[in-house]
Amino acid sequence: MSKGRILVVDDDPQIRRVMRVTLIAQGFEVRDARSAEQAFEILEQEKFDLVLLDINLPGVGGLQVCRSLRASSDAAIIMLTVRDAEEDKIEALDAGADDFVTKPYSTPELLARIRAALRRVPLSPEGGPQVIRLEEVEIDLVQRHITVRGRTVRLTPKEFDLLHYLVTHPNVPLPHLRLLQAVWGPDYGNEVEYLRTFINQLRKKIEKNPAKPKYILTEPWVGYRFQLP
């Protein structure tokens, strides 16, 4: 039984070949593309659970592919790059990526990142609220659907997972480590820039005034808190 469908987008044929062999051996179905244009052609016809996307594609770059894909797809996205600067990570996450892997990487590291990108925060416990209604925001935890001021708002899978965890643990400070491990997995803990970027995106999408948030509050030196009335 397939563990999921993955599209590998990289202009290096050797990297595509190695990834294809590695991922198929792990039980994934794999397609690959050598360019943004070829990737778009494949994505128009097929649905994938995850896209491994090189940030340095020739022509239309990986960041633009990521933005375009994120506007129309719920697939998880992992950006691949030779650069490890924090601003590069933030740029990739801002474009809609779920995670960021620096080349060269080990096979166990890549597989762990794939598992983290594909994992989903479990539903609320039996008897817990399945729909959270705030003044101008309605969050359906089962349908993974959010409405803000009467308008459907699109969240990336990881944005929704983070919001899900926040709203089901309201009114208490949630440390960075706890949030990272709950949403991305036990191998995470130092990627505070991930949280900062995703929290900023969530505030832009659900807060009336993102600069003065009402719901998603920062706990200085600790983490974040979701304030329920």
Q: Taking 90 as the threshold, does the pLDDT of residue 119 lie above it?
A: no
Give the pLDDT band (50/70/90) at residue 25.
very high
pTM of the predicted model, to two decimals? 0.87
Closest CA to 135 of 67, 207, 63: 207
* DSSP labels, 57-87: -SSS-HHHHHHHHHHH---EEEEEES---HH
pLDDT of residue 57: 87
pLDDT of residue 127: 58
Give the pLDDT band (50/70/90) at residue 13.
very high
On whether the CB atoms of residues 39 and 4 are closer than 8 A, the answer is: no
Q: What is the pLDDT of residues 127-136, one digit of tens each?
A: 567 888 988 8
Q: What is the pLDDT of residues 47-106, one digit of tens each?
A: 999 999 999 888 888 899 999 998 888 899 999 988 777 777 888 899 999 998 988 888
- Burial (Cβ within 10 Å: 0-12, 13-18, ≥19) of residue 215: buried
Section 26-43 average pLDDT: 93
pLDDT of residue 120: 81
Question: Using CA atoms, how far apart are residues 59 and 225, in angstroms rounded to an integer?
Answer: 42
Question: Using CA atoms, how far apart are residues 199 and 45, in angstroms rounded to an integer?
Answer: 33
pLDDT of residue 103: 83
pLDDT of residue 79: 93
Q: What percent of the chain has pLDDT over 90?
A: 65
Question: Using CA atoms, how far apart are residues 120 and 127, in angstroms rounded to an integer?
Answer: 20
Q: Taking 60 as the threshold, does the pLDDT of residue 155 lie above it?
A: yes
On whether the CB atoms of residues 217 and 174 are closer than 8 A, the answer is: no
pLDDT of residue 182: 93
Give the pLDDT band (50/70/90) at residue 144.
confident
How many CB atoms are closer than 10 A to CB 39?
25
Section 205-213 average pLDDT: 94
Domains identified in the chain and CATH numbers: 5-118 (3.40.50.2300), 131-226 (1.10.10.10)
Count H helices and E strands in the chain, helices first. Answer: 8, 12
